[in-house]
């Protein structure tokens, strides 16, 4: 295993939590193993592991991008990850306000609904 893969795995666990990563690894098959390797190295090893900005800032950027692009499942995942990244509910709202202006009100409206539901689920568990 390369240093990049080890770094990516550790960062992914730090941000998304052991439970999520354990589920993803248990569900990995021969079909999606190359994809899992790609995101571990590229997203988590290269991008999320950089020390130029904080996990909080990276979390806010990721949430804004996912919301703007309409990637709802990934959006909920990264909203849950705010428990580990230090991004607050106010931070999430600020990111989504930017989405409203730069990507469109319908995208932000839908993302805010996802954020509200996800935060409620986080409180309940």
53-125 has CATH 1.10.10.10 classification:
no
CA nearest 39: which of 72, 69, 12? 12
Domain boundaries in the chain? 1-51, 53-125
- Read off the tokens for 103: 């990507």
Query: For residue 116, what pLDDT band results from cuts at 50, 70 and 90?
Result: very high
CA nearest 59: which of 84, 36, 24, 23? 84
Average pLDDT, the chain: 97
User: For residue range 78-95, what is the model confidence (pLDDT) as tens digits?
Assistant: 999 999 999 999 999 999
User: For residue range 58-82, what is the model confidence (pLDDT) as tens digits?
Assistant: 999 999 999 999 999 999 999 999 9
User: For residue range 34-53, what is the model confidence (pLDDT) as tens digits?
Assistant: 999 999 999 999 999 999 99
User: For residue range 97-113, what is the model confidence (pLDDT) as tens digits?
Assistant: 999 999 999 999 999 99
């Amino acid at each position: 295993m390369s240093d990049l893969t080890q770094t990516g795995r550790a960062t992914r666990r730090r941000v998304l939590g052991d439970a999520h990563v354990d589920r993803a690894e248990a569900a990995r098959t021969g079909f999606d193993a190359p994809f899992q390797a790609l995101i571990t190295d590229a997203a988590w090893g290269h991008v999320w592991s950089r020390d130029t900005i904080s996990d909080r800032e990276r979390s806010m950027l990721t949430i804004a991008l996912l919301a703007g692009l309409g990637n709802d499942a990934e959006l909920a995942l990264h909203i849950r990850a705010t428990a580990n990244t230090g991004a607050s509910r106010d931070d999430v709202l600020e990111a989504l306000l930017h989405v409203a202006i730069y990507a469109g009100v319908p995208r932000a409206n839908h993302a805010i609904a996802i954020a509200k539901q996800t935060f409620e689920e986080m409180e309940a568990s």
